[in-house]
Structure 1
Amino acid sequence: MSLSDIWLFIQQAFLSGIVTGSVYALLAVSIVIVFRTTDVPNYSQGDIFMFGGYVALFALLVWNASYWTAAVLTIIVSAVAAALFQRVVMERVARTRGIAQLVIATVGFSYLLKGVVRKTGLGDTPRSLPSLVPQDPITIGQAWLTQLDLVIFATALTVMLLLWALFAKTRAGRAMRAVGMNSRGAQIVGIRLSTIRMQVWGITGAISAVAALLITPKILMTPDLGHIAILAFAAAIVGGISSFPGAVVGGFIIGIVENMVGLFISSNAIVLAPFIVIMIVLLVRPQGLFGGKVGVKKV
């Protein structure tokens, strides 16, 4: 392989990596904000993402809705489903004060969403959502992306900027940050934890729906599509499981490393790439790239 070929592969891996990494970053941010406000890793995140894709597919194929109507409906349904799960199930389970029970509840929600999708019959055959924009290639440097890739990246970046504005500039966002920093203190000053946590879960449902709408025109959808959450968890761990910027950076790192491994080594080795990155980061910096100092809680 010549130097020019290596340089071409690096460019292509970087460009493709930031596109897929932007979707991983959205899902990683969802994982982080739930973890920060509840101290619970959300193992249903991937299937909320999968469910959003199938809501859009159902609206398009069964109801013959327009694409934009289906997109809005997908975001609303996913947000409401996640918020209701938090209020009806997680809030009650939280009274047991057991993290293990909460984690099991998220796993149960994951299987519930898979069951709902399989009941519709749409999951019997792999499908993809239609693309609103042409898939014509656009050359950037020596590499290329499609118009859809550029829309995915731009939309994901816009959503992340809107989330930053929500948490930094709005009263509701500051309340969410307060709960993430010290839930007991936030409760003392009048913030209702149940309301904030329900809002956070609703936001994660909406983010997952957006991620599904962005990436499912490029990949085949099945009821097992939720495995993509493994990559989102990898991104969150690499960036620091409690860091919003870390989740974003971690998503891009995982996306770029995946594409580098696929181009330079083998497509079969792609599945190993995220775990190798996790091990390297945990060995060098156990709290993640943007995580704070490692602390030990006294019990």
Structure 2
Amino acid sequence: MQIIISGLIFGCVYGLAGLGMVLIYKTTGVVNFAQGEMAMITTFVSFLFLSSLNMPYLVSFFLALAFAAILGIVIYQVFMKRIQNQSHIFQMVMTLGLFLILNGIAGLIWGHHPTSYPEAIQGAPFQIGSVFVTPNELFVVGLTAVLMLLFFFFFKYSKVGLAMRASSQDITAAELMGVKVSTVFLSIWAIGAILGGVAGMMTAPITFLNINMMFTVLVMAFAAAVLGGFVSLPGALIGGLIVGVFENLVSYYGSPEMKMVYTFLLIVVVLYIRPQGIFGGEKMVKKV
């Protein structure tokens, strides 16, 4: 039970990172491989607020998320908007280039030595039944639940959410109905960067703060998104929980070095049985 609970807690981090990737892909059709490095930069900025400016955690948290939104907007306006009418493969290569650029810039600014990062809520672990959890782990679970509820109501009931859903289904039809698709894309990149930033600040206390801390998280978030179907927002979160539990079980009963191998083996098996993913819906048949 301890292994499963621990897996669910870190699965929340995978789910948040995967949620940002799915959100961008669902609307723009682009897999953002720079998502992890954007989150890493945001986490370093939050640490700058904490350590150099001595700001309270909550203040630095929200200021870092504001920075993440600005970073997402800048990346879309400067890089992605210029090639949004190009093939998706070119846009994907652009995100890979941004991955390398952001990683290199972070290395030049902050170096390559890992640094400890404070937890959101510090305190000794306490026992619930036969399971030990820390206050920070409960914070991660609670924050994930709150964000999922906010996104549910945002996409279902707000005009901006409706515009995003319309753009994800048919860009041309959305434009004909008066939706400013470029503004929607801008908002999506900002929200995706914010979700990544949250995942980064939840990851840093566990893995230490360094420029490569989000690589494994990015891979596992991608795996979670694929497992969930890559078009389903709830599927990304549930896929993250499945991946988190599965890798913990593999690490405990098998070998920690093989957890990524077995995780992708699980995905291959699932996709062989259900190619569209668990929550990907049924295949669509088009007549041309």
TM interval, short-chain normalised: over 0.9
- Alpha-carbon displacement from aligned partner over 1:75-123 (angstroms, at most 9, x marks no partner): 011111111211221111123x221211111112212221221122x23
How much does 1:287 deviate? 0.3
Partner in structure 1 of residue 31 of structure 2: 41
Q: Does 1:124 align with 2:112?
A: yes
Contact 1:26 1:160 in 2 (8 A): no
Structure 1 residue ranges without an equivalent (≥5): 1-10
How much does 1:298 deviate? 7.3
How much does 1:297 deviate? 6.3
How much does 1:137 deviate? 1.5
Q: SS at the partner of 1:58?
A: helix
Q: Does 1:232 align with 2:218?
A: no
Contact 2:200 2:214 in 1 (8 A): no
Greater shift in the superposed pair: 64-73 or 19-28? 64-73
- Alpha-carbon displacement from aligned partner over 1:145-184 (angstroms, at most 9, x marks no partner): 1111111111111112111111111110111011111111
Contact 2:207 2:213 in 1 (8 A): no
Contact 2:121 2:136 in 1 (8 A): yes
What TM-score do the two structures reach when normalised by structure 1? Answer: 0.91
Contact 2:125 2:135 in 1 (8 A): yes
Contact 1:16 1:256 in 2 (8 A): yes
| RMSD, aligned CA | 1.6
Q: Matched residues in 1 for 2:53 and 2:284: separation?
A: 52
- Alpha-carbon displacement from aligned partner over 1:195-221 (angstroms, at most 9, x marks no partner): 000000000111111112222112212
- Alpha-carbon displacement from aligned partner over 1:236-264 (angstroms, at most 9, x marks no partner): 00010101111111011001101111122
Q: Which amino acid aligns with 2:185?
A: R
For the structure 1 residues 71 and 119, does the alpha-carbon distance in structure 2 shift closer, same or farther, using more than 3 Å as the test?
same
Partner in structure 2 of residue 180 of structure 1: 168
1:139 pairs with one of 89, 112, 127: 127
Structure 2 residue ranges without an equivalent (≥5): none
For the structure 1 residues 226 and 296, does the alpha-carbon distance in structure 2 shift closer, same or farther, using more than 3 Å as the test?
farther
Residues 1-299 of structure 1 aligned to structure 2 (within 5 Å): 11-95=1-85, 97-120=86-109, 122-227=110-215, 228-295=217-284
Q: Matched residues in 2 for 1:128 and 1:76: separation?
A: 23
Q: Matched residues in 2 for 1:18 and 1:58: separation?
A: 29
Q: Matched residues in 2 for 1:140 and 1:297: separation?
A: 52
Contact 1:31 1:233 in 2 (8 A): yes
Q: Which amino acid aligns with 1:211?
A: A
Q: Matched residues in 1 for 2:60 and 2:105: separation?
A: 18
How much does 1:296 deviate? 6.0
For the structure 1 residues 268 and 135, does the alpha-carbon distance in structure 2 shift closer, same or farther, using more than 3 Å as the test?
farther
Contact 2:120 2:139 in 1 (8 A): no
Contact 2:204 2:213 in 1 (8 A): no
Contact 2:12 2:144 in 1 (8 A): yes
Question: Identity of paired residues, percent?
Answer: 31
Contact 1:12 1:144 in 2 (8 A): yes
